[in-house]
């Protein structure tokens, strides 16, 4: 490099700089693309069969999210979603499956322990955090104040309403505590931005009502985002 003309040295330095910028921004660009696809995914909701959910449940096999998997599942999803997790004040609306698997986590959220929506108010629900302050999946949980916010879980027919009462950051080795859930509580689980820790959000059950009584603006969004056939 010492023998290069000054112009060549300058161009070489510029090229290295641009390469660094490209590498730095690629992750952000990937998240932007994932966010657009995830927020424009419109799954058909199907009634959950607990036996099927138990058979498919494989939380330990969930992998890191990447754009290629999002594109693949967006074009042809192999997951079965039965409802949604909605936090209106965060404009967060995530498809929900009655089980957890890699395909479920690619486009939505899943119950870590399958439960019948109709027969229980206690759920442990997880989803990815894709970082960069994205509005997709459970990412908004990691960069907003959460205490007191309303969380809605719906199957397209009825709505279970919860209030966020506590949050806690735990190590991956402590994740078993989420399975010691208190009665009538919902637990939301995601990773921190660096994926080294886990964010646990505890929500207390408040009420259940028909989706007909949901606020008109939220109900309109549910009808826009989800195909409600066969529910």
**Annotation says 2 is catalytic:** no
Question: Which has the closest alpha carbon to 139: 16, 38, 58, 52?
Answer: 38
**Annotation says 33 is catalytic:** no
Query: What is residue 2's predicted lDDT score, i.e. its pLDDT?
Result: 52
Domain architecture of the chain: domains with CATH = 6-225 (2.40.260.10)
Where residue 22 falls (left for φ over 0; alpha for ψ -120 to 50; beta otherwise) is alpha
pLDDT tens-place string over residues 48-99: 888 888 889 888 888 989 889 999 999 999 999 999 999 999 999 999 999 9
Q: How many CB atoms lie within 10 A of CB 68?
A: 8
Query: What is residue 14's predicted lDDT score, i.e. its pLDDT?
Result: 62
pLDDT tens-place string over residues 98-134: 999 999 999 999 999 998 898 888 999 999 999 888 8
Distances in Å between the alpha carbon of 68 and those of 43, 71, 97, 163, 218?
19, 5, 21, 35, 31
- For residues 111 and 22, give the distance between their C-alpha atoms in angstroms, rounded to a whole number: 37
- For residues 34 and 134, give the distance between their C-alpha atoms in angstroms, rounded to a whole number: 9
Q: How many CB atoms lie within 10 A of CB 62?
A: 19
The DSSP secondary structure of 102-159, one letter per residue, reads HHHHHHSEEESS---TTT-S-EEEE-----TT-SSTTGGGGSS--TT-EEEEE-SSEE
Question: What is the pLDDT confidence band of residue 24, given thresholds at 50, 70 and 90?
Answer: low
pLDDT tens-place string over residues 153-205: 999 999 999 999 999 998 988 888 878 777 889 999 999 887 789 999 999 99
How many CA atoms within 13 Å lie on the side-chain side of 174?
11
Question: Which has the closest alpha carbon to 124: 103, 110, 145?
Answer: 110
Selecting among 191, 203, 213, 215, the annotated active-site residue is 191
Query: What is residue 90's predicted lDDT score, i.e. its pLDDT?
Result: 95
Selecting among 42, 128, 213, 229, the annotated active-site residue is 128
């Amino acid at each position: 490099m010492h023998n290069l003309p000054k112009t060549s040295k300058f161009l070489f330095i510029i090229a290295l700089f641009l390469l660094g910028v490209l590498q730095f921004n690629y992750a952000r660009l990937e998240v932007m693309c994932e966010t657009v696809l995830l927020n424009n995914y419109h799954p058909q909701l199907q009634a959950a069969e607990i036996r099927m959910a138990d058979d498919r449940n494989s939380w330990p096999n969930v992998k890191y999210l990447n754009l290629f998997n999002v594109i693949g599942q967006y074009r042809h999803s192999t997951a079965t979603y039965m409802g949604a997790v909605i936090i209106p004040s965060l404009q967060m609306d995530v498809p929900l499956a009655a089980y957890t698997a890699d395909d479920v986590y690619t486009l939505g959220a899943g119950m870590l322990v399958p439960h019948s929506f109709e027969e229980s108010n206690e759920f442990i629900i997880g989803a990815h955090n894709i970082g960069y302050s994205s509005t997709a999946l459970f990412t908004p949980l990691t960069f907003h104040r959460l205490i007191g916010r309303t969380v809605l879980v719906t199957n397209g027919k009825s709505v279970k309403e919860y209030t966020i009462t506590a949050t806690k950051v735990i190590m991956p080795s402590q994740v078993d505590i989420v399975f010691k859930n208190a009665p009538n509580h919902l637990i939301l689980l995601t990773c921190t931005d660096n994926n080294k820790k886990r964010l646990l959000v505890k929500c207390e059950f408040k009420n259940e009502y028909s989706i007909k009584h949901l606020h008109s603006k939220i109900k309109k969004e549910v009808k826009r985002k989800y195909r409600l056939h066969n529910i």
